[in-house]
Amino acid sequence: MNKLMTGEPRETGPERKWDAAGRLIVNAYLTSSEDGVPVYLRLKKCLSKLIVNSELSIDTQLPPEQWLARALNVSLGTVQKSLNALRLDGYIERHQGHGTYVSAPRRRMTELWHYRFFDPQTGDFAPVFSKLIGRRTVMSDAAAAILGPDQLGFVEIERRIDVAGEFACFSRMYLGATHFSALMKIEPSVFDNVNLKQIFSSQFDRPTLKVTQRVSLTEPEHSVQSIIGVSPGNQCMVLTLIAQSHDGAYSFQEAFIPKSRFLLDMSLSGEGSGG
Protein backbone atom coordinates (compact mmCIF):
# COMPACT_ATOMS: atom_id res chain seq x y z
CA MET A 1 0.00 0.00 0.00
CA ASN A 2 1.19 3.50 -0.77
CA LYS A 3 2.70 4.79 2.48
CA LEU A 4 1.75 8.37 1.62
CA MET A 5 -1.90 7.37 1.46
CA THR A 6 -1.81 5.82 4.93
CA GLY A 7 -0.12 8.78 6.54
CA GLU A 8 3.01 6.80 7.44
CA PRO A 9 6.38 8.58 7.51
CA ARG A 10 8.49 8.67 4.39
CA GLU A 11 11.15 6.01 4.07
CA THR A 12 13.88 8.50 3.11
CA GLY A 13 14.71 12.11 3.76
CA PRO A 14 14.59 14.21 6.91
CA GLU A 15 11.38 14.55 8.90
CA ARG A 16 9.50 17.68 7.92
CA LYS A 17 7.98 19.74 10.74
CA TRP A 18 4.47 19.01 9.49
CA ASP A 19 4.93 15.26 8.86
CA ALA A 20 3.46 14.22 12.23
CA ALA A 21 0.41 16.41 11.67
CA GLY A 22 0.05 14.94 8.20
CA ARG A 23 -0.03 11.41 9.56
CA LEU A 24 -2.69 12.36 12.12
CA ILE A 25 -4.86 14.05 9.51
CA VAL A 26 -4.64 11.25 6.97
CA ASN A 27 -5.37 8.52 9.51
CA ALA A 28 -8.30 10.46 10.96
CA TYR A 29 -9.75 11.07 7.51
CA LEU A 30 -9.35 7.49 6.29
CA THR A 31 -10.96 6.05 9.44
CA SER A 32 -13.91 8.46 9.42
CA SER A 33 -17.25 7.41 7.98
CA GLU A 34 -19.49 10.22 6.77
CA ASP A 35 -21.84 8.74 4.19
CA GLY A 36 -23.63 11.40 2.21
CA VAL A 37 -21.57 14.26 3.67
CA PRO A 38 -19.68 16.46 1.17
CA VAL A 39 -15.98 15.60 1.05
CA TYR A 40 -14.84 19.09 2.06
CA LEU A 41 -17.09 18.97 5.12
CA ARG A 42 -15.84 15.51 6.08
CA LEU A 43 -12.26 16.79 5.97
CA LYS A 44 -13.17 19.94 7.89
CA LYS A 45 -14.85 17.90 10.62
CA CYS A 46 -11.80 15.62 10.92
CA LEU A 47 -9.45 18.58 11.26
CA SER A 48 -11.61 20.53 13.70
CA LYS A 49 -12.07 17.45 15.88
CA LEU A 50 -8.30 16.92 16.01
CA ILE A 51 -7.90 20.56 17.07
CA VAL A 52 -10.69 20.51 19.65
CA ASN A 53 -9.24 17.33 21.18
CA SER A 54 -5.76 18.94 21.24
CA GLU A 55 -4.30 16.22 19.03
CA LEU A 56 -3.26 19.09 16.79
CA SER A 57 -1.99 21.63 19.31
CA ILE A 58 -1.66 25.40 19.02
CA ASP A 59 0.99 26.59 16.53
CA THR A 60 1.18 23.17 14.86
CA GLN A 61 1.94 23.61 11.17
CA LEU A 62 -0.36 21.77 8.78
CA PRO A 63 0.90 20.09 5.60
CA PRO A 64 0.77 22.04 2.32
CA GLU A 65 -2.53 21.97 0.45
CA GLN A 66 -1.07 20.02 -2.48
CA TRP A 67 0.30 17.35 -0.14
CA LEU A 68 -3.06 16.93 1.58
CA ALA A 69 -4.84 16.65 -1.76
CA ARG A 70 -2.51 13.85 -2.90
CA ALA A 71 -2.44 12.05 0.45
CA LEU A 72 -6.22 12.06 0.82
CA ASN A 73 -6.94 11.48 -2.86
CA VAL A 74 -9.19 14.55 -3.07
CA SER A 75 -9.08 17.64 -5.25
CA LEU A 76 -7.02 20.68 -4.36
CA GLY A 77 -10.21 22.73 -4.41
CA THR A 78 -11.73 20.46 -1.76
CA VAL A 79 -8.75 20.95 0.54
CA GLN A 80 -8.81 24.71 0.01
CA LYS A 81 -12.54 24.87 0.75
CA SER A 82 -12.07 22.89 3.98
CA LEU A 83 -9.16 25.03 5.16
CA ASN A 84 -10.97 28.25 4.34
CA ALA A 85 -13.98 27.11 6.40
CA LEU A 86 -11.64 26.28 9.31
CA ARG A 87 -10.02 29.70 9.01
CA LEU A 88 -13.38 31.47 9.10
CA ASP A 89 -14.29 29.49 12.22
CA GLY A 90 -11.04 30.52 13.91
CA TYR A 91 -9.41 27.09 14.05
CA ILE A 92 -6.40 27.93 11.87
CA GLU A 93 -4.36 30.88 10.63
CA ARG A 94 -2.83 31.06 7.17
CA HIS A 95 0.40 33.06 6.88
CA GLN A 96 1.33 33.99 3.32
CA GLY A 97 4.57 32.28 2.38
CA HIS A 98 4.93 30.58 5.76
CA GLY A 99 2.16 27.95 5.85
CA THR A 100 -0.98 27.18 7.81
CA TYR A 101 -0.99 26.87 11.61
CA VAL A 102 -3.43 25.87 14.34
CA SER A 103 -4.78 28.98 16.10
CA ALA A 104 -4.93 29.73 19.80
CA PRO A 105 -7.90 28.14 21.57
CA ARG A 106 -11.14 30.01 21.04
CA ARG A 107 -13.31 31.24 23.86
CA ARG A 108 -16.36 29.01 23.87
CA MET A 109 -19.86 30.37 24.33
CA THR A 110 -20.88 30.64 27.98
CA GLU A 111 -24.20 30.83 29.81
CA LEU A 112 -25.94 29.01 27.00
CA TRP A 113 -29.71 29.00 26.84
CA HIS A 114 -30.45 27.24 23.58
CA TYR A 115 -27.40 25.59 22.01
CA ARG A 116 -26.96 23.01 24.74
CA PHE A 117 -25.90 19.74 23.11
CA PHE A 118 -25.35 16.78 25.41
CA ASP A 119 -22.66 14.31 24.35
CA PRO A 120 -23.63 10.74 25.39
CA GLN A 121 -20.03 9.61 24.91
CA THR A 122 -18.55 12.04 27.44
CA GLY A 123 -21.58 12.60 29.68
CA ASP A 124 -21.09 16.35 29.37
CA PHE A 125 -22.26 19.24 27.22
CA ALA A 126 -20.33 19.89 24.03
CA PRO A 127 -18.24 23.05 23.60
CA VAL A 128 -20.06 25.55 21.39
CA PHE A 129 -18.62 28.48 19.42
CA SER A 130 -20.40 31.16 17.42
CA LYS A 131 -19.29 33.40 14.56
CA LEU A 132 -21.06 36.38 13.03
CA ILE A 133 -21.42 35.80 9.29
CA GLY A 134 -23.85 38.54 8.34
CA ARG A 135 -25.96 41.45 9.56
CA ARG A 136 -28.14 43.96 7.76
CA THR A 137 -31.37 45.92 8.06
CA VAL A 138 -34.27 44.31 6.20
CA MET A 139 -38.03 44.40 5.85
CA SER A 140 -39.49 41.08 7.04
CA ASP A 141 -43.15 40.11 7.06
CA ALA A 142 -42.37 37.10 9.27
CA ALA A 143 -40.62 39.26 11.87
CA ALA A 144 -43.34 41.91 11.71
CA ALA A 145 -46.03 39.30 12.34
CA ILE A 146 -44.30 38.25 15.58
CA LEU A 147 -42.63 41.42 16.83
CA GLY A 148 -45.02 43.96 15.38
CA PRO A 149 -44.39 46.38 12.51
CA ASP A 150 -41.34 48.65 12.61
CA GLN A 151 -41.06 51.60 10.21
CA LEU A 152 -37.28 51.25 10.13
CA GLY A 153 -37.40 47.52 9.43
CA PHE A 154 -35.51 44.85 11.35
CA VAL A 155 -31.89 44.19 12.19
CA GLU A 156 -31.11 40.70 10.89
CA ILE A 157 -28.19 38.89 12.55
CA GLU A 158 -26.82 35.66 11.07
CA ARG A 159 -24.38 33.46 12.96
CA ARG A 160 -22.73 30.11 12.43
CA ILE A 161 -22.79 27.92 15.55
CA ASP A 162 -20.00 25.33 15.75
CA VAL A 163 -20.61 22.35 18.04
CA ALA A 164 -17.50 20.51 19.26
CA GLY A 165 -15.93 20.81 15.82
CA GLU A 166 -18.28 18.08 14.59
CA PHE A 167 -21.18 19.96 13.03
CA ALA A 168 -22.62 23.43 12.60
CA CYS A 169 -25.97 25.13 13.13
CA PHE A 170 -27.19 28.33 11.52
CA SER A 171 -28.95 31.11 13.43
CA ARG A 172 -30.96 33.96 11.95
CA MET A 173 -32.32 36.55 14.40
CA TYR A 174 -34.54 39.61 13.92
CA LEU A 175 -34.90 42.66 16.18
CA GLY A 176 -36.79 45.91 15.60
CA ALA A 177 -34.47 48.50 14.04
CA THR A 178 -36.09 51.42 15.88
CA HIS A 179 -34.66 50.20 19.18
CA PHE A 180 -31.75 48.00 18.04
CA SER A 181 -30.24 49.93 15.11
CA ALA A 182 -27.01 50.43 17.11
CA LEU A 183 -26.31 46.72 16.61
CA MET A 184 -25.21 47.63 13.09
CA LYS A 185 -22.34 49.73 14.49
CA ILE A 186 -20.96 47.29 17.06
CA GLU A 187 -17.59 45.69 16.27
CA PRO A 188 -18.27 42.31 14.57
CA SER A 189 -16.09 40.36 17.01
CA VAL A 190 -18.41 41.36 19.88
CA PHE A 191 -21.03 39.00 18.46
CA ASP A 192 -18.72 35.98 18.58
CA ASN A 193 -19.00 33.37 21.35
CA VAL A 194 -21.48 35.29 23.47
CA ASN A 195 -25.08 34.88 24.49
CA LEU A 196 -26.58 37.84 22.65
CA LYS A 197 -29.24 38.23 25.33
CA GLN A 198 -26.51 39.56 27.61
CA ILE A 199 -25.89 42.38 25.13
CA PHE A 200 -29.60 43.08 24.73
CA SER A 201 -29.99 43.37 28.50
CA SER A 202 -26.89 45.43 29.31
CA GLN A 203 -26.80 47.75 26.30
CA PHE A 204 -30.43 47.98 25.17
CA ASP A 205 -32.40 47.60 28.41
CA ARG A 206 -34.16 44.48 27.16
CA PRO A 207 -33.70 41.74 29.79
CA THR A 208 -35.19 38.46 28.64
CA LEU A 209 -38.08 37.55 30.91
CA LYS A 210 -39.63 34.74 28.87
CA VAL A 211 -38.69 32.58 25.89
CA THR A 212 -41.09 30.60 23.72
CA GLN A 213 -39.57 27.63 21.85
CA ARG A 214 -41.13 25.77 18.94
CA VAL A 215 -39.70 22.92 16.88
CA SER A 216 -40.43 21.96 13.29
CA LEU A 217 -38.79 20.23 10.33
CA THR A 218 -37.94 21.88 7.05
CA GLU A 219 -35.78 21.57 3.96
CA PRO A 220 -33.40 24.51 4.45
CA GLU A 221 -32.66 26.99 1.70
CA HIS A 222 -29.52 26.42 -0.36
CA SER A 223 -27.39 28.99 1.49
CA VAL A 224 -28.21 27.32 4.81
CA GLN A 225 -27.59 23.81 3.43
CA SER A 226 -23.96 24.67 2.69
CA ILE A 227 -23.41 26.01 6.21
CA ILE A 228 -24.91 23.11 8.19
CA GLY A 229 -23.92 20.33 5.79
CA VAL A 230 -27.39 19.18 4.75
CA SER A 231 -27.75 17.83 1.22
CA PRO A 232 -30.53 19.09 -1.10
CA GLY A 233 -33.79 17.23 -0.52
CA ASN A 234 -33.00 16.49 3.13
CA GLN A 235 -34.57 18.12 6.16
CA CYS A 236 -33.22 19.62 9.35
CA MET A 237 -34.76 20.74 12.61
CA VAL A 238 -35.76 24.38 13.02
CA LEU A 239 -35.88 25.74 16.55
CA THR A 240 -37.96 28.94 16.59
CA LEU A 241 -37.27 31.21 19.56
CA ILE A 242 -39.29 34.25 20.59
CA ALA A 243 -37.82 36.29 23.44
CA GLN A 244 -39.95 38.65 25.51
CA SER A 245 -38.99 41.53 27.78
CA HIS A 246 -41.00 43.97 29.91
CA ASP A 247 -42.75 45.42 26.85
CA GLY A 248 -43.44 42.18 24.97
CA ALA A 249 -41.64 40.19 22.27
CA TYR A 250 -38.41 41.84 21.14
CA SER A 251 -36.51 39.14 19.20
CA PHE A 252 -37.42 36.39 16.76
CA GLN A 253 -34.82 33.72 15.97
CA GLU A 254 -34.69 30.62 13.81
CA ALA A 255 -31.96 28.06 14.49
CA PHE A 256 -31.37 25.43 11.79
CA ILE A 257 -29.97 22.26 13.37
CA PRO A 258 -28.81 19.18 11.38
CA LYS A 259 -29.00 15.58 12.49
CA SER A 260 -26.16 14.57 14.83
CA ARG A 261 -25.19 12.11 17.56
CA PHE A 262 -25.76 14.81 20.21
CA LEU A 263 -28.91 15.30 22.28
CA LEU A 264 -30.37 18.81 22.28
CA ASP A 265 -31.28 19.94 25.79
CA MET A 266 -34.44 22.04 25.48
CA SER A 267 -34.54 23.22 29.09
CA LEU A 268 -33.85 26.90 29.65
CA SER A 269 -31.16 27.99 32.10
CA GLY A 270 -31.20 31.77 31.75
CA GLU A 271 -32.93 34.58 33.60
CA GLY A 272 -36.70 34.40 33.59
CA SER A 273 -36.58 30.70 32.83
CA GLY A 274 -36.96 29.43 36.35
CA GLY A 275 -33.49 27.91 36.25
pLDDT score of 110: 54
Q: How far apart are CA 222 and CA 252, in angstroms?
A: 21
Q: Which amino acid is at 126?
A: A
| Extended strands (E) in 30-164 | 61-62, 92-95, 99-102, 117-119, 124-125, 128-138, 154-163
- Does the pTM exceed 0.95? no
Domain ranges (residues) in the chain: 4-102, 117-264
pLDDT score of 132: 92
Q: How far apart are CA 75 and CA 77, in angstroms?
A: 5
Q: How far apart are CA 147 and CA 244, in angstroms?
A: 9
Q: How far apart are CA 103 and CA 173, in angstroms?
A: 29
pLDDT digits (tens, 9 = 90+) for 214-231: 999 999 999 999 999 999
Correct CATH for 4-102 of 3.40.50.10320, 1.10.10.10, 3.40.50.2030, 3.40.50.720:
1.10.10.10
pLDDT score of 189: 85
pLDDT score of 105: 57
1 in helix, strand or coil? coil
pLDDT score of 112: 59
Give me the tens of pLDDT residue by residue for the chain, a chain 275 residues long: 333 444 444 444 567 888 999 999 999 999 887 667 788 888 988 998 888 778 998 889 999 999 999 999 999 999 999 998 888 777 888 777 778 998 865 555 555 567 889 888 778 888 888 899 999 999 999 999 999 999 999 999 999 998 888 899 999 999 999 999 999 999 988 888 888 888 898 899 999 888 999 999 999 999 999 999 999 999 999 999 999 999 899 999 999 999 999 999 887 654 433 32
Query: Do 184 and 155 touch, CB atoms closer than 8 A?
Result: yes
pLDDT score of 59: 87
CATH of domain 117-264: 3.40.1410.10
Q: How far apart are CA 53 and CA 164, in angstroms?
A: 9
